[in-house]
Amino acid sequence: MENFDREIRTSKFAELTNKHFAATAIPKGIHCLALRLTDEYSSNAHARRQLPSPELLPLLSDNSYHHFILATDNILAASVVVTSTVQSSLNPGKIVFHVITDKKTYAGMHSWFALNPVSPSIVEVKGVHQFDWLTRENVPVLEAVENYHGIKDYYHGNHIAGANLNETTPRSFASRLQARSPKYISILNHLRIYLPELFPNIDKVVFVDDDVVVQRDLSPLWDIDLDGKVNGAVETCEGEDNWVMSKRFKNYFNFSHPVIAMTLNSDECAWAYGMNIFDLRAWRKTNIRDTYHSWLKENLKSNLTMWKLGTLPPALIAFRGNVHPIDPSWHMLGLGYQNKTNIESVKKAAVIHYNGQSKPWLEIGFEHLRPFWTKYVNYSNDFVKRCHILEL
């Protein structure tokens, strides 16, 4: 009986590991889309046209407009976020989207939005290499993270492979695997902490992740009184869903570490990244960025023992005292974690978030939740057709 139980546990952990690698792989269709659009940028002048057109450039810093920021290297996901936001808006002519991507994806991302405009909304595409402020001198901690001697082993799961499976649960094992996503050391994932410097002339923005779909007009977010706080976010400390809505600091931090135990309250409520309204004017008066940097460095010094890697744990510390809770109906989480999500609740949410491994563009995405995302994929687009996008 003991051997049988061990075999079941080993099989379960193998399943979780395989799912982890499936979640971090790039589907052929999405890879094809990026390559074809990059090639188009080289050969088609229309794909290289200025975004936005010169006469609209002043609107990129016009605070009477609603500014959205999205940082991603996934062109298909970016198209869904922008399209769903624009189509759900009651006043799309007031929307400005700032899409930030990495250097290798820039040409393809630019091609997509140059060839598929979302008029009357405005889209700007920038690569991280085009931000003068974004230098190693200003973000030294990123170099430290990327060069940390244990990072590669950490992300290839080498010390997970040697873990004692008898001393861990499938739930905690899955969580540890999730923390090993390579995106957590990507500069695109850390960009959100530098928004006040990257957009010095903008007062208020909504920052969205690339695994969200917008289903309702978001303009009322700009009218929310944040009461002097910096970050308007949905709290995640209520509800029965252990993956998403029951998260407190104890779910993210190692409270057996003396510094964590002395500094933080394990029962403090956590909040969600994915759809946040940021008051950049209030943010510029704080030391949030420096606090974020200092805690990242402390975690490196502690051999990554303060928390699982990721951008949320240090942000939970950096934004302490600067978060204003917003109504949960603005941001529904967990569509990439479990398939028991209530469909009626999904339909009612302003923003649905496929956080978790089962992204809608992956084969492991949940079939009944995928249509909320695919309805914004332009299947008539020649590039999408030629790359056989989502022919699962």
List residues bridging with 213 in a β-sheet: 352
Residue 157 pLDDT > 70, yes or no?
no
> From edge to edge, which strands make up the β-sheet containing 275-279?
122-127, 95-101, 66-71, 204-208, 275-279, 231-233, 323-325
Task: Give the 3-state secondary structure of residue 349.
Answer: coil
Confirm if 388 and 29 have CB atoms less than 8 A apart: yes
| 239 or 162, greater pLDDT | 239
| 22 or 258, greater pLDDT | 258
Residue 282: give the domain boundaries.
25-332
Residue 248 pLDDT > 70, yes or no?
yes
Residue 41 pLDDT > 80, yes or no?
yes
Give 272-303 pLDDT, tens digit per residue.
999 999 999 999 999 999 999 999 889 988 88
Give 110-131 pLDDT, tens digit per residue.
999 999 999 999 999 999 999 9
Work out the pLDDT band at 318, boundaries 50, 70, 90.
Answer: very high
User: Which pLDDT belongs to residue 12?
Assistant: 52
Residue 283 is assigned to a structural domain of this protein: yes
> Could you tell me the two tokens for 67?
């500014």
Residue 176 is assigned to a structural domain of this protein: yes
Chain-centroid distance of CA 100 in Å reads: 12
- For residues 89-105, average pLDDT: 97
Residue 341 is assigned to a structural domain of this protein: no
Residue 170 pLDDT > 80, yes or no?
no
- For residues 209-232, average pLDDT: 97
Q: For the chain, how many structural domains are there in total?
A: 1
Strand intervals (E) in the chain: 66-71, 95-101, 122-127, 204-208, 212-214, 231-233, 275-279, 323-325, 351-353
Residue 338 is assigned to a structural domain of this protein: no
Residue type at 111 in one-letter notation: S
By C-alpha distance, which of 212, 249, 202 is closest to 330? 212
User: Which pLDDT belongs to residue 390?
Assistant: 72
Residue 361 is assigned to a structural domain of this protein: no
Residue 230 is assigned to a structural domain of this protein: yes
Burial class, 104, CB count within 10 angstroms (exposed 0-12 / middle 13-18 / buried 19+): exposed
- Give the lowest-confidence range in 28-42, 63-77, 326-340: 326-340
Work out the pLDDT band at 177, boundaries 50, 70, 90.
Answer: very low
By C-alpha distance, which of 233, 236, 227 is closest to 209? 233
Looking up residue 293, the CATH number of its domain turns out to be 3.90.550.10
Residue 79 is assigned to a structural domain of this protein: yes
Residue 187 is assigned to a structural domain of this protein: yes
Q: What is the 3-state secondary structure (H, E, C) of 202-227?
A: CCEEEEECCCEEECCCCHHHHHCCCC
Residue type at 365 in one-letter notation: G
Residue type at 289 in one-letter notation: R
- For residues 214-238, average pLDDT: 96
By C-alpha distance, which of 216, 211, 271 is closest to 244? 271
Neighbours of 105 (CB within 10 A): 22
